[in-house]
């Protein structure tokens, strides 16, 4: 294992700027890590080695001439295979797009390039990002580096695995119902679902839809904030775009949280959980919060209709985005994608309208809740990483589930609030599997959530552990 592959992104970028490391040196270390581990894990499904080497050499030449470079200059990165990458295959995990090569970059990709990041490839995702189990018929399944018989989660599963295994220091992801947070928890990395518009989406067919966001993933909260500084910021072509500049996230994360009012919601109002998930958080995360000096109180926000809001709006979105694919290519779509679209087809206008009204009411209830508390903490996931051959859990602790997204409700209901939410490593099950803590903050308090996550990370200590796959 090359130590460069686990050097924090901030430190790597600083060493490159000072010319203590070359871009090509850093790149070759990460390409060697991909060569060694990707055949075992299947995280990066399309590679761009030659183009990456050319970019690295060009950046080294710029640095030698003393020319300015971007914040992420020389850092190897990978893009989720839902994001358009100009000249590089983008499949969306679907056989319909097996050979599709876009002629433009998604905005997040272009911002990463502008900041000097070097693309090494695309990370695996389930078909159209549907589901928190990363597999598809184009590339197969991505395996969890903590136990290669288990799922890595999804839909940003390839990104989470690439980070955990040291293939890249930074990777972008997306999140509708937990697609940044679930794989982060399953793989012991960090995934941040920022406020809608924090990272503008473009191109986007449904650009005003607030539940689907693009965001950063890294191995630490500090690197996540550093990455966010490069990809956040306004864009006039995105209707939800937040006007705060990205460099606001370069401010120091250190903050004293003594006396912070923290709500601990054990089951988010009664969701089923595997007992080991709750045991791990209660024996690892809660003591860490006490060490920080937080005033922790057991309290559940009123999320009584958040699940219904999410399911209606998700179904509407899927039909709007993919309905025509169902009509033309039904036989080539996986069953869960079909189910999503058909759920949308069954909706009526009044149902969608009521969901939007209830989403507004939920927003106001959460605002009231956060008058009493500074942060909400709760589990990210309801289960531990399960068998990779299982598409999705059918029960949790004896509670029968009825759909493929029902086991993800601990993230879905938070998505419905549109509040910023962070998955940060919190501890390990007795079997050695990672468990993350979900930190939810006030409306658009993205930086506060990152500060709290950073403080928690320092005392919890879980993020420093490395997965067994590294040992061979």
Q: What is the dihedral of CA 388, 391, 396, 402, to 10 degrees?
A: 180
Q: What is the pLDDT of residue 444?
A: 98
pLDDT score of 472: 75
> CB-based burial of residue 69 (10 Å sphere; 0-12 exposed, 13-18 middle, 19+ buried)?
middle
The distance from CA 61 to its chain's CA centroid, rounded to whole angstroms, is 33
In angstroms, the Cα distances linking 348 to 211, 344, 405, 455 are 20, 9, 21, 46
pLDDT in tens, 371-409: 999 999 999 999 999 999 999 999 999 999 999 999 999
pLDDT reading at 270 higher than 90: yes
Q: What is the DSSP string of 341-395?
A: HHHHHT--HHHHHHHHHHHHHHHHHHHHHHHH-SEEEEES-SS---BTT-SS-SE
Q: For the chain, give me the number of helices (H) and strands (E)?
A: 13, 17
Please state, as a whole number, how many other Cβ atoms lie within 10 Å of the Cβ of residue 149. Answer: 11
In the predicted model, what is the mean pLDDT of residues 207-213?
96
User: pLDDT tens for residues 321-376?
Assistant: 999 999 999 999 999 999 999 999 999 999 999 999 999 999 999 999 999 999 99
Return the domain boundaries, the chain.
3-471
pLDDT, position 50: 98
What residues form DSSP beta bridges with 118? 76
Q: Report percent pLDDT > 90 for the chain.
A: 99
pTM for this prediction: 0.98
Taking only the tens place, the pLDDT of each residue in 101-141 is 999 999 999 999 999 999 999 999 999 999 999 999 999 99
Q: What are the catalytic residues?
A: 80, 155, 179
d(CA 464, CA 33): 18
Average pLDDT rounded to a whole number, residues 200-229: 96
Tell me what pLDDT residue 1 has: 58
**What's the pLDDT tens digit per position in 241-263?**
999 999 999 999 999 999 999 99
**Predicted confidence (pLDDT) at residue 212 exceeds the cutoff of 70:** yes
d(CA 458, CA 279): 21
* Peptide bond before residue 203 is cis, with ω within 30 degrees of 0: yes
Q: Residue 148 has what pLDDT?
A: 98
| E strand intervals along 49-167 | 76-80, 118-123, 135-136, 140-141, 143-144, 147-151
Residue 174 near residue 165 (C-beta atoms within 8 A) = no
In contact, 413 and 307? CB cutoff 8 Å: yes
Mean pLDDT of the chain: 97
Average pLDDT score over residue span 4-33? 98
Q: Where are the alpha helices (DSSP H) in 153-211?
A: 157-164, 181-187
Fold that domain 3-471 belongs to in CATH: Amidase signature (AS) enzymes (3.90.1300)
Dump pLDDT digits (tens) for 420-443: 999 999 999 999 999 999 999 999
């Amino acid at each position: 294992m090359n130590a460069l592959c686990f050097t924090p992104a901030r430190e790597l970028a600083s060493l490159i700027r000072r010319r203590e490391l070359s871009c090509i040196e850093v790149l070759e270390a990460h390409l060697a890590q991909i060569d060694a581990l990707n055949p075992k894990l299947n995280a990066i499904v399309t590679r761009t080695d030659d183009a990456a080497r050319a970019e690295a050499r060009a950046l080294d030449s710029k640095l030698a001439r003393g020319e300015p470079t971007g914040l992420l200059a020389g850092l190897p990165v990978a893009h989720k295979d839902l994001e358009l990458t100009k000249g590089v295959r983008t499949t969306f995990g679907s056989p319909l797009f097996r050979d599709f090569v876009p002629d433009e970059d998604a905005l997040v990709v272009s911002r990463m390039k502008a900041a000097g990041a070097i693309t090494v490839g695309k990370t695996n995702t389930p078909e159209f990002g549907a589901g928190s189990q990363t597999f598809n018929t184009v590339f197969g399944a991505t395996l969890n580096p903590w136990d290669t018989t288990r799922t890595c989660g999804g839909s940003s599963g390839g990104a989470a695995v690439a980070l955990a295994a040291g293939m890249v220091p930074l990777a972008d992801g997306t999140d509708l119902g937990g697609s940044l947070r679930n794989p982060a928890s399953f793989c012991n990395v960090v995934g941040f679902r920022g406020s809608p518009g924090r990272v503008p989406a473009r191109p986007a067919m449904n650009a005003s839809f607030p539940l689907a966001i693009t965001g950063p993933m890294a191995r630490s909260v500090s690197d996540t904030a550093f990455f966010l500084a490069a990809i956040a910021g306004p864009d006039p072509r995105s209707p939800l775009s937040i006007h705060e500049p990205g460099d606001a996230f370069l401010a120091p994360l250190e903050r004293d949280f003594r006396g912070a009012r923290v709500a601990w919601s054990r089951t988010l109002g009664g969701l089923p959980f595997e007992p080991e998930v709750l045991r791990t958080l209660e024996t690892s995360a809660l003591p860490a919060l006490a060490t920080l000096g937080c005033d922790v109180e057991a309290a559940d926000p009123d999320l009584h209709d958040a699940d219904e809001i999410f399911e209606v709006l998700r179904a509407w979105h899927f039909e709007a985005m993919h309905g025509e694919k169902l009509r033309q290519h039904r036989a080539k779509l996986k069953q869960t994608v079909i189910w999503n679209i058909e759920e949308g087809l069954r909706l009526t206008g009044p149902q969608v309208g009521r969901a939007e009204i209830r989403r507004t009411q939920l927003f106001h209830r959460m605002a009231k809740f956060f008058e009493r508390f500074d942060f909400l903490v709760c589990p990210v996931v309801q289960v531990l990483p399960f068998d990779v051959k299982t598409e999705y859990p059918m029960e949790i602790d004896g509670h029968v589930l009825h759909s493929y997204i029902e086991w993800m409700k601990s993230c879905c209901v938070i998505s419905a609030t549109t509040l910023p939410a962070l998955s940060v490593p919190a501890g390990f099950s007795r079997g050695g599997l990672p468990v993350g803590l979900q930190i939810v903050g006030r409306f658009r308090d993205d930086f506060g959530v990152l500060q709290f996550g950073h403080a928690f990370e320092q005392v919890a200590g879980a993020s420093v552990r490395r997965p067994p796959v590294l040992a061979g």
